[in-house]
Amino acid sequence: MSLEIKNLKVKINDQFILNGVDLKIGPGEVHALMGPNGSGKSTLANVLMGNPVYEVVEGEILFEGLKLLEMDVHERALAGLFLAFQYPVEIPGVTLGKFLIRAKELQQNGQKLKLTQFVKEMKEKMQFLEMDESFINRYLNEGFSGGEKKRAEILQMLLLNPKLSILDETDSGLDIDALKIVSKGVNSLRSNRFSALIITHYQRILNLVQPDFVHILYKGKMIESGSSELVKKLESSGYDWIKEKYNDKELVG
C-alpha cells in the first residue's frame, strides 16, 4: 500500500476541517479528489505534506509503511512525496536550475550530481514540456505566468520522480494547450511505482489523465467514491445532488 489515511481529523483555529477522512491509494493508482469549495481538499494536501498550520487531532497516515505524521516536511519529501501547489510561490534569488540541482542532491543524500548529465536531462524534460531553456537561469517562479509556474512544478516532478504526487488544482487557470502539456507530464510517469492524487474541480484534466478512482469530499468527509462515471455525474448535475443527499446528515465525528 502506497498511502493509507485512517480516520483523519484536522482543525485550524478550533474549527474542524476534516472530520474523519479515510483513503487508500495503491502503487500505480491515480485517484481524483473533488468536492465543493471549503470541503477540505487543499487542507488534506497540506496535511499530507506537513503544513504546521493545521492541527491533526486524530487519525493516522501511513506512506510506504512509514508513519507520516511523525515525519518532518523534508523527510516526507525524501520518502517520495511531492506536492504541486495550487499557487506556486516565487523565490527571488534562487534560479530554477540551482533549485532543481540542490533538490536532486538532497534526494541523493547530498551526493554531488554529474552536472553535465543532469543539465542534459533537465533540458530534455523542458523540451518535453515545451519550456524555453532560458527558464533554467530565471528566479524560481518570479515573473512566470500561471501556466509557466505549473509547467515548472511538473518539471520538478519529472526530475525528482516521486512515488506519490499530490496535484492541488494544478489545472486551475490553465488554457487548453498548457493543460495538455501538464497532463502529458503526469501521464509520462504512470507506472507501478508512481501514484497520484489529483485535486480538481473540473472534468477536463480527468479526460486527459484518466483516474482509476474518483472521490468526493464534502464537509470534511469522503462521502462518495467510484469510477469516472462519478465525474460525469458531477459535470452534468453539479453538487446539488450531493447537498440534497447529505445536508441533513451529521458528518462530524
Give residue-wise pLDDT tens across range 154-176: 999 999 999 999 999 999 889 99
pLDDT of residue 246: 85
pLDDT of residue 2: 87
Residue 31 pairs in a beta bridge with: 197, 213
pTM of the predicted model over 0.85:
yes
Span 183-192, mean pLDDT? Answer: 95
Q: What are the grid coordinates assigned to 154, written together?
A: 511538473
Q: How far is CA 34 from CA 15, 211, 223, 239, in A?
A: 21, 12, 11, 10
| Number of residues in the chain | 253
Q: Which amino acid is at 207?
A: N
On the question of pLDDT at 188 being above 60, the answer is yes
Where helices occur in 115-214 by DSSP H, the ranges are 115-128, 146-160, 176-189, 204-208
pLDDT of residue 168: 95
Average pLDDT, the chain: 93
| 50 vs 240 pLDDT, higher one | 50
Residue with cell 510561490: 89
Class of domain 3-246: alpha beta
Q: What are the grid coordinates assigned to 105, written together?
A: 542532491
Phi, psi of 191 (to 5 degrees): -165, 180
Residue-range domain boundaries for the chain: 3-246
Dist CA 194 CA 237 (whole Å): 32
> Confidence class of residue 253 from pLDDT cuts 50, 70 and 90?
very low
Q: How far is CA 203 from CA 17, 43, 95, 146, 239, in A?
A: 25, 21, 34, 20, 13
Residue with cell 517520495: 80
Percent of the chain with pLDDT over 90: 83
**Which sign does the torsion angle of CA 215, 227, 185, 238 carry?**
negative
Give residue-wise pLDDT tens across range 30-80: 999 999 999 999 999 999 999 999 999 999 999 999 999 999 999 999 999
Find out whether 153 and 170 touch, Cβ atoms under 8 Å: yes
Other Cβ atoms within 10 Å of 151 Cβ, number: 22
Dist CA 107 CA 114 (whole Å): 14
Dist CA 168 CA 171 (whole Å): 8
On the question of pLDDT at 112 being above 50, the answer is yes
Percent of the chain with pLDDT over 70: 97
